[in-house]
Amino acid sequence: MRKIFFCIIFQLFLCGVWAQETNMKLWYNRPAENWNEALPIGNGRLGAMVFGQPAKEQIQLNEETVWSGGPGNNTNPDIKEVLPEITKLLFEKKYEEAGRLAYDKVYSTDNGQKFEPVGNLWIDFPDKSKVSGYYRDLNIEDAVSSVKYKADGVNYTRQFFSSFTDNVIIVCLTADQPGKISFSLGMDCQMRSKVSVGKDHIIDLSGITDDQDGVSGQVRFHALVKPVCEGGNISVSEDKLTIEKANTATIYISIATNFKNYKDISGDAFVKADSILKKALTVDYKTALNNHSSYYHKYFKRVSLDLGTTSDIQKTTNERIAAFKGGDDPQLVSLYFQFGRYLLISSSSYPGTQAATLQGIWNGKISPPWDSKYTTNINAEMNYWPSENTNLAEMSKPFIHMVEDLSQSGRETAKEIYGARGWAFHHNTDIWRISGPVDHSFSGLWPTGGAWMSQQLWEHYLYSGDEKFLKDEAYPVIKEASKFFVDILQKEPEHGWLVVSPSMSPEHNYLKNATTCAGATMDNQLVFDLLSNTIRTADILKVDSSFADSLRKIKKQIAPMQIGQYDQLQEWMGDFDKPTDHHRHVSHLYGLYPSNQISPYRTPILFSAAKQSLIYRGDASTGWSMGWKVNLWARLLDGNHAYHLIEDQLSPAVRPDGTVGGGTYINLFDAHPPFQIDGNFGCTAGIAEMLLQSGDGFIFILPALPDRWNNGSVKGLMARGGFEISMQWKDGKIEKLTVESKLGGNCRIRSRTPLKRADRTQLKKSHGENTNQFYQVNTVKEPLISKKASVKKLKLDRTYLYDIPTEAGQTYYFFR
E runs forming strands in 163-232: 169-175, 181-188, 192-197, 203-208, 220-230
For ligand FUC, which is the closer residue by CB, 429 or 443? 443
For ligand FUC, which is the closer residue by CB, 357 or 501? 357
Chain-centroid distance of CA 232 in Å reads 44
Task: Report, in Å, the least distance between residue 577 CB and ligand FUC.
Answer: 18
DSSP SS3 for 777: coil
Task: Report, in Å, the least distance between residue 513 CB and ligand FUC.
Answer: 18
* Backbone dihedral angles phi then psi of residue 543, each to the nearest 5 degrees: -135, 165
DSSP SS3 for 321: helix
Q: How far is CA 656 from CA 316, 322, 684, in A?
A: 17, 10, 26
8 A C-beta contact, residue 113 and residue 73:
no
In what helix (H) or strand (E) does residue 726 lie, and over which residues does it extend? strand 723-730
For ligand FUC, which is the closer residue by CB, 135 or 370? 370
> For residues 584 and 676, what is the distance between their CA atoms, to the nearest angstrom?
14
For ligand FUC, which is the closer residue by CB, 370 or 418? 370
| DSSP secondary structure of 261-276 | BTTB----HHHHHHHH
DSSP SS3 for 243: strand
Name the CA dihedral angle for 158, 15, 160, 346, rounded to a multiple of 10 degrees. Answer: 150
For ligand FUC, which is the closer residue by CB, 442 or 723? 442
Task: Report, in Å, the least distance between residue 589 CB and ligand FUC.
Answer: 15
Task: Report, in Å, the least distance between residue 397 CB and ligand FUC.
Answer: 23
For ligand FUC, which is the closer residue by CB, 53 or 357? 357
In what helix (H) or strand (E) does residue 550 lie, and over which residues does it extend? helix 545-557
Task: Report, in Å, the least distance between residue 111 CB and ligand FUC.
Answer: 13
For ligand FUC, which is the closer residue by CB, 370 or 616? 370
Of 112, 113, 116, 122, which Cα lies nearest the Cα of 64? 116
Task: Report, in Å, the least distance between residue 76 CB and ligand FUC.
Answer: 20
8 A C-beta contact, residue 444 and residue 377:
no
Residues that bind ligand FUC (CB under 6 A): 358, 370, 375, 379, 443, 507, 584, 624, 672, 676
Other CB atoms closer than 10 Å to residue 522's CB: what's the count? 29
> For residues 764 and 446, what is the distance between their CA atoms, to the nearest angstrom?
47
For ligand FUC, which is the closer residue by CB, 624 or 729? 624
8 A C-beta contact, residue 536 and residue 547:
no
> For residues 784 and 629, what is the distance between their CA atoms, to the nearest angstrom?
27
For ligand FUC, which is the closer residue by CB, 357 or 390? 357
Of 259, 261, 268, 271, which Cα lies nearest the Cα of 218? 259
Task: Report, in Å, the least distance between residue 275 CB and ligand FUC.
Answer: 36
For ligand FUC, which is the closer residue by CB, 567 or 648? 648
First to last CA, the chain: 63
Alpha carbons within 13 A on the beta-carbon side of 445: 34
Task: Report, in Å, the least distance between residue 676 CB and ligand FUC.
Answer: 6
For ligand FUC, which is the closer residue by CB, 507 or 577? 507
Position 445, amino acid: L
8 A C-beta contact, residue 739 and residue 812:
yes
For ligand FUC, which is the closer residue by CB, 449 or 697? 449
Task: Report, in Å, the least distance between residue 374 CB and ligand FUC.
Answer: 9
Task: Report, in Å, the least distance between residue 218 CB and ligand FUC.
Answer: 25
> For residues 720 and 697, what is the distance between their CA atoms, to the nearest angstrom?
9
> For residues 447 and 456, what is the distance between their CA atoms, to the nearest angstrom?
17
Task: Report, in Å, the least distance between residue 363 CB and ligand FUC.
Answer: 13
DSSP SS3 for 59: strand
> For residues 567 and 584, what is the distance between their CA atoms, to the nearest angstrom?
20
Which residues is 40 bridged to in the sheet?
Answer: 49
Task: Report, in Å, the least distance between residue 430 CB and ligand FUC.
Answer: 13
For ligand FUC, which is the closer residue by CB, 438 or 801? 438
Task: Report, in Å, the least distance between residue 355 CB and ligand FUC.
Answer: 15
Task: Report, in Å, the least distance between residue 507 CB and ligand FUC.
Answer: 5
> For residues 677 and 362, what is the distance between their CA atoms, to the nearest angstrom?
9
Which residues is 513 bridged to in the sheet?
Answer: none
8 A C-beta contact, residue 744 and residue 806:
yes
For ligand FUC, which is the closer residue by CB, 560 or 627? 627
The Cα diameter of the chain in Å comes to 90
Task: Report, in Å, the least distance between residue 584 CB and ligand FUC.
Answer: 6
Alpha carbons within 13 A on the beta-carbon side of 504: 27
Task: Report, in Å, the least distance between residue 506 CB and ligand FUC.
Answer: 7
For ligand FUC, which is the closer residue by CB, 167 or 625? 625
For ligand FUC, which is the closer residue by CB, 358 or 561? 358
- For 614-627, letters b (16+ CB in 10 Å) and e give bebbebebbbbbbb
For ligand FUC, which is the closer residue by CB, 674 or 783? 674
How are the residues of the chain apportioned to helix, strand and coil, as percentages rounded to the nearest 5? 35, 25, 40
For ligand FUC, which is the closer residue by CB, 231 or 369? 369
Position 643, amino acid: Y
> For residues 67 and 530, what is the distance between their CA atoms, to the nearest angstrom?
31
Task: Report, in Å, the least distance between residue 378 CB and ligand FUC.
Answer: 6
> For residues 90 and 84, what is the distance between their CA atoms, to the nearest angstrom?
10
Of 77, 74, 73, which Cα lies nearest the Cα of 416? 77
> For residues 444 and 190, what is the distance between their CA atoms, to the nearest angstrom?
30
Task: Report, in Å, the least distance between residue 441 CB and ligand FUC.
Answer: 14
